[in-house]
């Protein structure tokens, strides 16, 4: 209750609203340009095709395994299908969940900040911060159990630039402390796409994700990987 009171106090004193900040960021990243579009790109050895139209989606991921077998996974509102060289696989619940999360995770980050409009999103304004010499508004995001997927307990934080309204940093704690810094922005088909430097913290650290910016500025995080998407194409859905 104390935490909720403090969050409400911060929001009231600043006059800022989390949903307004999210809407401004969505506009800065292309507005509704992503709706009714097919987005294709390469991520590491995966090729992904994302289609989003209203509340309906279709995320496809294909890649070869070590033997050259072509694996194709398709995630839709109805669930996940997986095939090997065109032959459908029968998956148990654990396998279906594992592959669904893997496909959805890549799609989710590419479609940010647009995904923050999902009905399952619960957003709170949690204050201002200065990161790398720029002023930011911080928004904490959680998810409703209904519609939030198996990982609805995850907590994210997003940093929105006060001048450009772009989403320049994000953080989350599930799977270990992670802080991502946007880089290499490019506009394709009216949509702003970003790569990220992915930083990690100490897995034993219990610091809340909304304070990972402080650890980043104090150089307490180490670079883990680069999240880079290649050969981006945006096409109308046929």
**Where is mean pLDDT largest: 51-55, 145-149, 194-198?**
194-198
- Are 4 and 11 within 8 A, CB to CB? no
Whether 84 and 128 map to the same domain: the answer is: no
User: Residue 40's domain spans which residues?
Assistant: 34-112
Residues contacting residue 171 through CB under 8 Å, at least 6 positions apart: 156, 157, 177, 178, 179, 180, 209, 210, 212, 213
Whether 38 and 19 map to the same domain: the answer is: no
For residue 43 the two structure tokens come to 């991520």
Cα-Cα-Cα-Cα dihedral sign, residues 228, 233, 235, 238: negative
CA distance 74 to 48: 10
> What's the pTM value of the predicted model, to 2 decimals?
0.88
Whether 72 and 92 map to the same domain: the answer is: yes
pLDDT category, 1, cuts 50, 70, 90?
very low
- Of 112, 142, 174, the residue that ends a domain is 112
**Residue 7's pLDDT is what?**
46
* Mean pLDDT for the stretch of residues 125-137: 98
Comparing 65-69, 76-80, 119-123, 141-145, the range with the smallest average pLDDT is 141-145
- Of 93, 112, 131, the residue that ends a domain is 112
Number of domains in the chain: 2
Whether 38 and 144 map to the same domain: the answer is: no
Residue 237 lies in a domain: no
- Helix ranges, 45-161 (H): 93-110
Whether 23 and 131 map to the same domain: the answer is: yes
pLDDT over threshold 90, residue 8: no
- Residue whose tokens read 């989606």: 57
- Of 81, 112, 143, the residue that ends a domain is 112
Residue 238 lies in a domain: no
- Are 128 and 15 within 8 A, CB to CB? no
For residue 132 the two structure tokens come to 């790398």
């Amino acid at each position: 209750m104390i935490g909720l009171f403090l969050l409400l106090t911060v929001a009231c004193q600043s006059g800022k609203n989390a949903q307004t900040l999210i809407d401004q960021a969505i506009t800065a990243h292309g507005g509704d340009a992503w709706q009714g579009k097919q987005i294709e790109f390469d991520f590491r050895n995966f090729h992904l095709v994302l289609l989003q139209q209203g509340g309906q989606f279709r995320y496809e991921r294909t890649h070869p395994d070590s033997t050259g077998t072509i694996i194709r996974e398709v995630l839709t509102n109805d669930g996940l299908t997986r095939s090997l060289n065109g032959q459908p696989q029968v998956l148990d619940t654990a396998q279906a969940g594992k592959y669904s999360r893997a496909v959805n995770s890549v799609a989710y980050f590419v479609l940010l900040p647009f995904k923050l409009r999902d009905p399952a999103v619960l957003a709170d304004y949690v204050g201002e911060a200065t990161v790398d010499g720029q002023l930011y508004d911080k928004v904490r995001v959680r998810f409703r159990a209904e519609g939030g997927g198996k990982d609805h307990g995850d907590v994210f934080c997003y940093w929105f630039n006060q001048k450009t309204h772009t989403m320049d940093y994000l953080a989350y704690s599930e799977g270990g402390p992670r802080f991502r810094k946007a880089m290499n922005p490019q506009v394709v088909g009216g949509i702003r796409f970003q790569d990220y430097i992915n930083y990690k913290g100490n897995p034993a650290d219990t610091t809340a994700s909304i304070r990972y910016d402080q650890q980043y500025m104090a150089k307490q995080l180490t670079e883990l990987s680069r999240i880079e998407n290649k050969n981006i194409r945006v096409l109308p859905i046929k």
